[in-house]
Amino acid sequence: MAPAKASVLEIFKSRQGEGLFAGEPHLFVRFGGCNLVCDYCDTPDSIPVQSGTRWDLDGVLARLGHLRGDGGPSVVSLTGGEPLLHADFLEALVPRLRALGYRVHLETNGSLPNALARIIKGCDWIAMDFKPDSATGRDLWEAHRWFLEMSGSKVFVKMVLTGKTAEAEFRRGVDLVATVRPGTPLVLQPATPWGSARSIPLARLTFWWEWAARRLRDVRIIPQIHRLWEIA
């Protein structure tokens, strides 16, 4: 049985600001709570587990239906925080979304493969972050490997690169993609300066892209466009 409610910070309509689908109109459900604290996080209000307000399933669906209206976006991005912390709720939500004709885009930090296994069947795309040790203070590479293996062809990987991202951890991420599924698209996202985080120098970013592009089939540099446009 699905939980009665989940912590949600906001449900809104906007343009996708990151990754392969940047610029597309999406509906967003931003869940509260995250199991990581990244130094470049631009939604720190979403980190506490009890952040946001409690929404039930019918309330979420009604709000999305209102925002979609007649001919509005048909893609729902589940974001956070970390949406997979609410796997019980998502197990009920995702099939309902599919039944209503939505496509489901999961945005995740890629550290909770057991939770992913419970909803992956209903996901159309998975935007998976690689979180290097320098960003979180934690070694997540084995969890990332398991998550990537499970995601199959539905996934693309995003690496946020800051001024302190080490070349060794960047190469480790590229090698992981090359080993598990070399056809997986890899998005290199220069960090938007936020708090103590600073972006990667352009010359270094270019060099790293060239190195990765020799090993993988699809490597792209895509910044956060919603920050450039100053939208949600």
Specify the pTM: 0.92
Helices (H) and strands (E) in the chain, counts: 8, 9
| Exposure string over 179-207, b if 16+ CB within 10 A, otherwise e | ebbeebbbbbbbbbebeebebbeeeebee
β-partners of residue 160 are: 189
* Separation CA 106–CA 42 (nearest Å): 18
Domains contained in the chain, CATH given: 5-229 (3.20.20.70)
The answer to whether the CB of 78 falls within 8 A of the CB of 31 is: yes
CA distances from 99 to 45, 61, 74, 127 (A): 32, 11, 12, 22
DSSP labels for 145-161? HHHHHHHGGGEEEEEEE
Phi–psi pair at 39, nearest 5 degrees: -70, -20
Q: What is the pLDDT along the chain (232 residues), one digit of tens a residue?
A: 556 899 999 999 999 999 999 999 999 999 999 988 877 766 777 777 777 899 999 999 999 999 999 888 999 999 999 999 999 999 999 999 999 999 999 999 999 999 999 999 999 999 999 999 988 889 999 999 999 999 999 999 999 999 999 999 999 999 999 999 999 999 999 988 776 678 899 999 999 999 999 999 999 999 988 556 555 5
